[in-house]
Amino acid sequence: MRKVTAGLFHSVDGVVSDPNLWQFDSFDEDLGKGMTEMMERVDTGVLGRVSYQEWAGYWPNATVDDDFAGFINPMEKFVASRTLPEPLEWQNSHLIQGPLEDFVAELKQRDGGEIAVFGSISVTRQLLFAGLLDELTLMTHPVVAGSGRRLFEDGDPVTRLTLKDEYRTSKGNVISTYSLLGG
């Protein structure tokens, strides 16, 4: 069975939205190495509508010398949206038909590499609380963002996680990878 993962840039105060506003001065070689290792395992992406629209507006036009552009553009991508029309313009992008949880459960059964949720807070939350997210990696930067969307909200169900791996980068980022308890 394929693994479903999500990795989010994360501030000390828990903000995961708009990392472009606060993470670049602490992005270091160690963090880049971790991103490269992820790119070697992943061959399928899942995005929500907002992330899809932001990324589809940027990555198809990024230079081919950019490692991430060379990784994300040809990859098969599935988009969770009730409002986007088909066909999706970004190469190898497809709308998810039916409930997200059902689609991802079926996708896990197909042959292939790791499935990664990219930048989509709502999709990450939905899959985590449905028990379909195998690993959650939080890349905590040494910054207080002050405002923005957080991954966890008041009223979320109690969800036990197991710390699988943790390390600190040269610029003080803490990379923590969790699985659901027992996973």
Q: What is the extent of the structural domain holding 44?
A: 4-180
- Where is pLDDT greater, at 109 or 33? 109
CATH of the domain at 46: 3.40.430.10
Percent of the chain predicted with pLDDT > 70: 98
What total number of domains does the chain contain? 1
Q: 11, exposed or middle or buried, with CB in 10 Å at 0-12, 13-18, 19+?
A: buried
Instruction: Write the DSSP symbol of residue 135.
Output: E
- Which pLDDT band holds residue 66 (cuts at 50, 70, 90)? confident
Asked if 80 and 123 touch (Cβ cutoff 8 Å), the reply is: yes
Q: What is the pLDDT of residues 142-159, one digit of tens each?
A: 999 999 999 999 999 999
Give me the pLDDT at residue 101, please: 98
Nearest to 170 by CA among 29, 12, 35: 29
Other CB atoms within 10 A of residue 24 CB: 10
Q: 158, exposed or middle or buried, with CB in 10 Å at 0-12, 13-18, 19+?
A: exposed
Instruction: Write down the mean pLDDT value for the chain.
Output: 94
- Which pLDDT band holds residue 24 (cuts at 50, 70, 90)? confident
Asked if 97 and 90 touch (Cβ cutoff 8 Å), the reply is: no
